[in-house]
C-alpha cells in the first residue's frame, strides 16, 4: 500500500472538523483499533483482578494483578519504545497485538496458577510501550495541520470513554465468567491487528539498520532531545504538571468517599468521583478542539493549564461528593482542552526518527508522575484530612502552573523549533546556543531533500503541505492514560 501525504493544511477560517479527520481511511483504522483494544484491555483488567481474587481471596494479589500493567513503563518504557523506531510502525503494532492476543488466550485457560497468570499478564503488557510508541509516531504521518490536533483529541477522548465502558462491561462480564472477559480482550486484539494490517500503509522504518547504534544509546537520545530542546522541555513540564494534580481525586476516591460520603452510599460516591475526571476530559477534548480555531486553542493553552489545578482548590471547603465530582470534571475539561495542542506542538517540534523514543520518555514520565502524586497525597492523607490535602496540593499546582505559563516559549521560538525539526529530518535540530542534540541515528541520510524538508506536518503553508504528493518517508498523549499522546497513556 503506497503512502501519500494529502493536503491537510488547517483552514484559516476555523478548526478542522471531525468529518475531515475521519475521512482519512488510515486514521479511521487506527482510531477503531485503539478503541477496540482499549475497551478489551479494561475489560481484562477487571476480569483478571476478580479472577485472581476468586482463586486466592487475597486483596494484595488482586491489586498486584491490576498494578502489573504499569510495570513495563516504569522498568523499561523508554527502552521498549525505542524498539519501535527500529522497525516499520505498522509491523510493530500488528505483531504486538497478535502477541497480546495469544497471551490473553493462555491466561484464559482454566486452572492456570496465579503466579503464571501474573507472569503472562506482565509479558502481555511488555508489548504496550512499543505498540503505543509506534502508534504515536504513526499518527503525525497520517494527519497533518490542524487535523492532527483534532485527531489526537479524538484518540484521547475515546481512551477515556473506553476506560469507563471497559470497566463497567468488565465488571459485569467477569461476575458472570472471567474467562469470557479475557477471551473478549483477546478478540479485540485480533480485530485491532486486522484493522491496522489492512487499513494502514506500510511505511519504511524511521531508523534504518545503517544508522543504529546501541539500544541504550538510542534510548538516551530520546531523553536528550526531550529535555535538551527548550520547546520540548517546556511542553514536557506542562504535561507532567497537569498529570501531577489532575489524577489526585481519582486516586483518593475510595478513601474520600468512605470518609466524606454524606448522604450517598460510599460505593456510589466513589464511582461518581472516579468517573468525573474522564467524563470532563472527554467533553473538554471534543468541545475545545471543535469550537475554537488553531490560534485560539494555542492562546488558551496557558490559561487552561493554570485552571486545571485551580479547579480543585475549592476542595479545601470539604464539599459533598457531587461537588467534588464537578471539580474533578472541571479539572479534566481543562486538561483535555490544552493537552491535544501540547501534543500537536510536541510532534511538530520533533525531527523524524525520534518520535517513538520521545513518546517513551513522555509516557514513562506520566506514569511515574501519576503514581508519585497518588502515593504522596495518600501518605499525607494518613495524617491530614483529604479535603485539606487535595486543596493545598492543588494550590501548589496553581503556583507551579503559573510559573510554567510565565516561562512558556514565545511564538517565534515555537515556530523556529518547528522549522528546525522539519529541516532536520532524522537529525536532532541545532539549538539556539549552537549545540546540537543527539547524533544522527535516523534515516534522514540518503533521503531526498523533499523528504527531509517536508517534516511530519507536510511543511509550512505555501510549501510541501499544500499539495498531494507521494513520499517514502516514515504521538505523541494519558492520563493515564498515557496512550496515544504525551498524556493519558496507560495502556
Residues 6+ away with beta carbon under 8 Å from 109: none
CA 356 to chain centre: 12
Q: Can you give the pLDDT at residue 466?
A: 34
Whether the pLDDT of residue 469 is over 90: the answer is no
> Whose CA is closest to 464, among 8, 3, 97, 2?
8
φ, ψ of residue 441 to 5 degrees: the values are -110, -10
CA triplet 439, 443, 449: central angle to 5 degrees?
Answer: 105
pLDDT higher for 10 or 289? 289
pLDDT higher for 453 or 314? 314
Whether the pLDDT of residue 251 is over 80: the answer is no
CA triplet 279, 282, 290: central angle to 5 degrees?
Answer: 145
pLDDT higher for 350 or 263? 350
For residues 140 and 120, give the distance between their C-alpha atoms in angstroms, rounded to a whole number: 33
**Cα distance between the two ends of the chain:** 28
Distances (CA, A) of 454 to 93, 257, 403, 415, 471: 25, 52, 34, 15, 9
Residues 6+ away with beta carbon under 8 Å from 228: 431, 437
Please give the average per-residue pLDDT across 365-370, as a whole number.
80
Q: Which pLDDT band, with edges at 50, 70 and 90, does 59 fall under? A: low
**pLDDT tens across 436-449, in order?**
444 444 333 333 33
Phi-psi sector, 5: left (phi>0), alpha (psi -120 to 50), beta: beta
Residue 54, number of CB atoms within 10 A of its CB: 11
Q: Which pLDDT band, with edges at 50, 70 and 90, does 372 fall under? A: confident
φ, ψ of residue 8 to 5 degrees: the values are -130, 40
Q: Can you give the pLDDT at residue 488?
A: 43
**pLDDT tens across 152-175, in order?**
778 877 877 787 787 777 777 777
* pTM greater than 0.75 (yes/no): no
Q: Can you give the pLDDT at residue 96?
A: 93
pLDDT higher for 262 or 381? 381
For residues 377 and 76, give the distance between their C-alpha atoms in angstroms, rounded to a whole number: 25
Angle between helices 294-310 and 266-291 (to 10 degrees): 160
φ, ψ of residue 386 to 5 degrees: the values are -60, -45
| Burial 366-379, CB ≥16 within 10 A → b, else e | bbbbbbebeeebee
Considering Cα of 76, then 77, then 78, then 79, what sign does the dihedral take? positive
Q: Can you give the pLDDT at residue 458?
A: 32
Helix (H, G, I), strand (E, B) or coil at 470: strand
Phi-psi sector, 481: left (phi>0), alpha (psi -120 to 50), beta: beta
Beta 469-470 vs 4-5: how paired, if at all? antiparallel
> Whose CA is closest to 441, among 85, 90, 140, 79?
85
Contact 356, 300 (CB under 8 A): no
Q: Can you give the pLDDT at residue 310?
A: 94
Contact 380, 389 (CB under 8 A): yes
Mean pLDDT, the chain, as a whole number? 75
**pLDDT tens across 116-136, in order?**
888 888 888 888 888 888 888
Amino acid at each position: 500500500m503506497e503512502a501519500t501525504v494529502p493536503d491537510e493544511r488547517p483552514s484559516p477560517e476555523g478548526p478542522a472538523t471531525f468529518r475531515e479527520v475521519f475521512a482519512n481511511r488510515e486514521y479511521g483504522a487506527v482510531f477503531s483499533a485503539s478503541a477496540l483494544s482499549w475497551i478489551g484491555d479494561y475489560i481484562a483488567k477487571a476480569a483478571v483482578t476478580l479472577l485472581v481474587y476468586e482463586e486466592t481471596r487475597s486483596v494484595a494479589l488482586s491489586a498486584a494483578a491490576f498494578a502489573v500493567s504499569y510495570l513495563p513503563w516504569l522498568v523499561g518504557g523508554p527502552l521498549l519504545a525505542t524498539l519501535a523506531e527500529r522497525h516499520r510502525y505498522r509491523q510493530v503494532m500488528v505483531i504486538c497485538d497478535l502477541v497480546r492476543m495469544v497471551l490473553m488466550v493462555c491466561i484464559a485457560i482454566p486452572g492456570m496458577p496465579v503466579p503464571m497468570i501474573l507472569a503472562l499478564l506482565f509479558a502481555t503488557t511488555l508489548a504496550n510501550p512499543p505498540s503505543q510508541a509506534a502508534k504515536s509516531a504513526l499518527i503525525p504521518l497520517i494527519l497533518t495541520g490542524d487535523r492532527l490536533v483534532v485527531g489526537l483529541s479524538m484518540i484521547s477522548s475515546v481512551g477515556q470513554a473506553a476506560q469507563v465502558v471497559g470497566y463497567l462491561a468488565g465488571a459485569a462480564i467477569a461476575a458472570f465468567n472471567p474467562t469470557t472477559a479475557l477471551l473478549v480482550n483477546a478478540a479485540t486484539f485480533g480485530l485491532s491487528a486486522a484493522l491496522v494490517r489492512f487499513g494502514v500503509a506500510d511505511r519504511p522504518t524511521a531508523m534504518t539498520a545503517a544508522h543504529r547504534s546501541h539500544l541504550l544509546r538510542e534510548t538516551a537520545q530520546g531523553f536528550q532531545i526531550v529535555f535538551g530542546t527548550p520547546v520540548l522541555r517546556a511542553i514536557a513540564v506542562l504535561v507532567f504538571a497537569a498529570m501531577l494534580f489532575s489524577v489526585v481525586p481519582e486516586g483518593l476516591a475510595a478513601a474520600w468517599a468512605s470518609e466524606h460520603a454524606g448522604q450517598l452510599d460510599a460505593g456510589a460516591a466513589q464511582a461518581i468521583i472516579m468517573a468525573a475526571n474522564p467524563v470532563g476530559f472527554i467533553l473538554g477534548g471534543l468541545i475545545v478542539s471543535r469550537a475554537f480555531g488553531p490560534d485560539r486553542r494555542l492562546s488558551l493553552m496557558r490559561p487552561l493549564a493554570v485552571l486545571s489545578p485551580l479547579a480543585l482548590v475549592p476542595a479545601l471547603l470539604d464539599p459533598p461528593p457531587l461537588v467534588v465530582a464537578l471539580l474533578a470534571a472541571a479539572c479534566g475539561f481543562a486538561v483535555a482542552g490544552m493537552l491535544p495542542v501540547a501534543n500537536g506542538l510536541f510532534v511538530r517540534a520533533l525531527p523524524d526518527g525520534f518520535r517513538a523514543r520521545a513518546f517513551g520518555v513522555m509516557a514513562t514520565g506520566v506514569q511515574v508522575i501519576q503514581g508519585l502524586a497518588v502515593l504522596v497525597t495518600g501518605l499525607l492523607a494518613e495524617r491530614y484530612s483529604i479535603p485539606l490535602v487535595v486543596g493545598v496540593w492543588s494550590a501548589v499546582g496553581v503556583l507551579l502552573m503559573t510559573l510554567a505559563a510565565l516561562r512558556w516559549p514565545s511564538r517565534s521560538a515555537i515556530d523556529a523549533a518547528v522549522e528546525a525539526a522539519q529541516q532536520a529530518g532524522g537529525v536532532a535540530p541545532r539549538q539556539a546556543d549552537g549545540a546540537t542534540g543527539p547524533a544522527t541515528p535516523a534515516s534522514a541520510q540518503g533521503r531526498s531533500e523533499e523528504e527531509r524538508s517536508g517534516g511530519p506536518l507536510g511543511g509550512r503553508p505555501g510549501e510541501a503541505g499544500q499539495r498531494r504528493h507521494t513520499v517514502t518517508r516514515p504521538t505523541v498523549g494519558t492520563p493515564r492514560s498515557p496512550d496515544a499522546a504525551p498524556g493519558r497513556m496507560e495502556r
